[in-house]
A = this chain, B = another copy of it.
Amino acid sequence: MVTLTPKQRPGGRTARTRAAVLDAATALLAEVPPGDLTVGQIAARAGVNETTIYRKWRTKEALLTDVLMTLSGERLVAPDTGSLRGDLVAVVGAVAEFLRTPGGYALAYLGATAEDETAGALRDGFWADRFERARVVFDRAVERGEIPDARLGALAYEALIGTLHFRILARRRPLDADIAERLVDLVLDGVLPADRG
């Protein structure tokens, strides 16, 4: 009879190494421009051999993707504030706050530059999740009778978040403190004057 011997050893040292590397990478992303980050730096900071990193994650992109998906995991809160405007300001404000941090900037940067297949799949999943959560906000607004239907929700959310990313990434200008309110007002009310009753 053959005893099934486990082929993996995920406990103890392995877990510690993994955590040390992820922590080191996270810390470095706050200090070094994401484009300048090297695997050697991360290994040194983590007190781990470079080879080990390459054995656990096959590429640098895979490692950074791993870091950033964890980092951005649960930042999007969509509390029911009682109005579409309040909900959107909360969500957009939270994203803006995150994008102001080095980690948030790194996420936007790497999300836009990663060409890796794995990174591509993760990116798709990431945004699908975000848009799904945003949909809830617009569905609630329909239930409240604020808007007739949620058809514009996806594009509106894309415009809100897209403007933040554009400001940070393409224009390299800071996100003002009131950016969330101003954007939400713009997207909800539009530029043209109107009587709302």
Q: Let me know if A167 and B163 touch, CB within 8 A.
A: no
Q: Which residue of B lies closest to A35 (CB)?
A: B115
User: How many copies altogether?
Assistant: 2
- The secondary-structure label for the interface of chain A is helix
Stretch of A22-30, A67-75, A169-177 contacting B (4+ beta carbons < 8 Å): A169-177
The distance in angstroms between the C-alpha atoms of A194 and B183, with both chains bound, is: 18
Stretch of A5-13, A39-47, A49-57, A151-159 contacting B (4+ beta carbons < 8 Å): A151-159
Contact flag A146-B186 (CB < 8 Å), given A112-B112, A113-B35, A163-B162? no
**Contacting residues, chain B, for A171 (C-beta < 8 A):** 123, 127, 158
Q: Let me know if A169 and B115 touch, CB within 8 A.
A: no
A147 within 8 A of B: yes
Query: Which residue of B152, B155, B169, B183 is within 8 Å of A155 (Cβ)?
Result: B183
Q: Let me know if A152 and B191 touch, CB within 8 A.
A: yes
Q: Let me know if B33 and A156 touch, CB within 8 A.
A: no
A102 within 8 A of B: no
The distance in angstroms between the C-alpha atoms of A191 and B142, with both chains bound, is: 12
**Contacting residues, chain B, for A155 (C-beta < 8 A):** 163, 182-183, 186
Q: Hey, which bits of chain A sit against chain B, CB under 8 A?
A: 33, 35-36, 84, 108-109, 111-113, 115, 120, 123, 127, 146-148, 152-153, 155-156, 158-167, 169-172, 182-183, 186-197
